[in-house]
Protein backbone atom coordinates (compact mmCIF):
# COMPACT_ATOMS: atom_id res chain seq x y z
CA UNK A 1 0.00 0.00 0.00
CA UNK A 2 2.83 2.39 0.86
CA UNK A 3 4.52 1.72 -2.47
CA UNK A 4 1.32 2.68 -4.28
CA UNK A 5 1.09 5.92 -2.31
CA UNK A 6 4.75 6.75 -2.94
CA UNK A 7 4.47 5.97 -6.64
CA UNK A 8 1.30 8.06 -6.91
CA UNK A 9 3.02 10.99 -5.20
CA UNK A 10 6.07 10.67 -7.44
CA UNK A 11 3.92 10.50 -10.58
CA UNK A 12 1.86 13.46 -9.46
CA UNK A 13 4.93 15.56 -8.76
CA UNK A 14 6.54 14.55 -12.06
CA UNK A 15 3.35 15.25 -14.01
CA UNK A 16 3.21 18.76 -12.58
CA UNK A 17 6.75 19.46 -13.72
CA UNK A 18 7.99 19.61 -10.12
CA UNK A 19 10.64 16.93 -10.09
CA UNK A 20 12.34 18.28 -7.02
CA UNK A 21 14.06 15.57 -5.01
CA UNK A 22 13.05 17.43 -1.87
CA UNK A 23 9.35 17.01 -2.64
CA UNK A 24 9.78 13.38 -3.62
CA UNK A 25 11.66 12.65 -0.39
CA UNK A 26 8.97 14.42 1.68
CA UNK A 27 6.27 12.35 -0.05
CA UNK A 28 8.17 9.15 0.74
CA UNK A 29 8.73 10.18 4.36
CA UNK A 30 5.07 11.10 4.84
CA UNK A 31 3.86 7.78 3.44
CA UNK A 32 6.28 5.78 5.56
CA UNK A 33 5.43 7.49 8.83
CA UNK A 34 1.67 7.12 8.40
CA UNK A 35 0.58 3.68 9.54
CA UNK A 36 -3.14 3.09 9.90
CA UNK A 37 -4.31 0.22 12.06
CA UNK A 38 -7.64 -1.18 10.91
CA UNK A 39 -10.08 -2.03 13.69
CA UNK A 40 -10.22 -5.73 14.45
CA UNK A 41 -13.59 -7.38 14.87
CA UNK A 42 -13.77 -9.49 18.03
CA UNK A 43 -17.52 -9.85 18.62
CA UNK A 44 -20.43 -11.60 16.92
CA UNK A 45 -23.99 -12.77 17.50
CA UNK A 46 -24.31 -16.54 17.63
CA UNK A 47 -27.60 -18.06 16.52
CA UNK A 48 -28.76 -20.52 19.20
CA UNK A 49 -28.85 -24.25 18.65
CA UNK A 50 -32.61 -24.44 17.93
CA UNK A 51 -32.36 -22.06 14.96
CA UNK A 52 -29.37 -23.85 13.49
CA UNK A 53 -31.65 -26.74 12.50
CA UNK A 54 -33.35 -24.42 9.99
CA UNK A 55 -30.29 -22.66 8.59
CA UNK A 56 -31.69 -22.04 5.06
CA UNK A 57 -34.93 -20.53 6.40
CA UNK A 58 -33.16 -18.53 9.10
CA UNK A 59 -30.54 -17.28 6.63
CA UNK A 60 -33.26 -16.06 4.25
CA UNK A 61 -35.13 -14.26 7.01
CA UNK A 62 -31.93 -12.60 8.27
CA UNK A 63 -30.84 -11.49 4.79
CA UNK A 64 -34.30 -10.06 4.07
CA UNK A 65 -33.95 -7.93 7.21
CA UNK A 66 -30.41 -6.64 6.62
CA UNK A 67 -28.36 -9.12 8.67
CA UNK A 68 -25.70 -11.26 6.98
CA UNK A 69 -25.06 -14.60 8.68
CA UNK A 70 -22.02 -16.80 8.15
CA UNK A 71 -20.59 -20.10 9.36
CA UNK A 72 -17.44 -19.93 11.50
CA UNK A 73 -15.54 -23.09 12.42
CA UNK A 74 -13.49 -23.18 15.59
CA UNK A 75 -11.99 -26.32 17.09
CA UNK A 76 -13.98 -28.54 14.75
CA UNK A 77 -17.29 -26.97 15.82
CA UNK A 78 -19.35 -24.88 13.40
CA UNK A 79 -20.95 -21.69 14.71
CA UNK A 80 -23.78 -19.86 12.90
CA UNK A 81 -22.93 -16.17 13.40
CA UNK A 82 -23.98 -12.63 12.50
CA UNK A 83 -21.30 -9.96 12.36
CA UNK A 84 -18.47 -9.60 13.08
CA UNK A 85 -18.52 -6.44 15.16
CA UNK A 86 -15.62 -4.32 16.40
CA UNK A 87 -17.01 -3.84 19.90
CA UNK A 88 -19.33 -5.67 22.25
CA UNK A 89 -21.58 -2.59 22.27
CA UNK A 90 -22.07 -2.84 18.50
CA UNK A 91 -23.00 -6.52 18.86
CA UNK A 92 -25.50 -5.71 21.61
CA UNK A 93 -26.99 -2.94 19.45
CA UNK A 94 -27.44 -5.34 16.53
CA UNK A 95 -29.05 -7.86 18.89
CA UNK A 96 -31.54 -5.20 20.03
CA UNK A 97 -32.31 -4.22 16.42
CA UNK A 98 -33.05 -7.87 15.65
CA UNK A 99 -35.50 -8.06 18.56
CA UNK A 100 -37.42 -5.07 17.15
CA UNK A 101 -38.02 -6.73 13.76
CA UNK A 102 -41.26 -8.77 13.80
CA UNK A 103 -40.11 -11.03 10.96
CA UNK A 104 -37.18 -12.18 13.11
CA UNK A 105 -39.32 -13.33 16.04
CA UNK A 106 -38.05 -16.61 17.40
CA UNK A 107 -34.45 -16.16 16.32
CA UNK A 108 -32.46 -16.20 19.52
CA UNK A 109 -28.86 -14.94 19.67
CA UNK A 110 -26.04 -14.73 22.16
CA UNK A 111 -23.26 -12.15 22.03
CA UNK A 112 -19.92 -13.96 21.89
CA UNK A 113 -16.30 -12.91 21.75
CA UNK A 114 -14.46 -14.34 18.77
CA UNK A 115 -11.09 -16.02 19.27
CA UNK A 116 -8.03 -13.96 18.34
CA UNK A 117 -6.77 -14.51 14.80
CA UNK A 118 -3.26 -15.91 14.75
Q: What is the pLDDT of residues 59-97, one digit of tens each?
A: 888 999 999 999 888 888 888 999 889 999 999 999 999
Cis amide prior to 84 (ω within 30 degrees): yes
Q: Rounded CA gap, 59 and 46, in Å?
A: 13
Tell me: pLDDT of 21 over 70: no
DSSP 86-105: SSHHHHHHHHHHHHH-GGGT
Q: Rounded CA gap, 100 and 102, in Å?
A: 6
pLDDT-derived band of residue 22, with 50, 70 and 90 as boundaries?
A: low
Q: Rounded CA gap, 105 and 117, in Å?
A: 33
Amino acid sequence: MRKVIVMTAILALTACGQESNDKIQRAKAASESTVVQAPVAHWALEITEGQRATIPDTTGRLLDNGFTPYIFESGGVQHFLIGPFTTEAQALEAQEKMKLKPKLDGIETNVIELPAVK
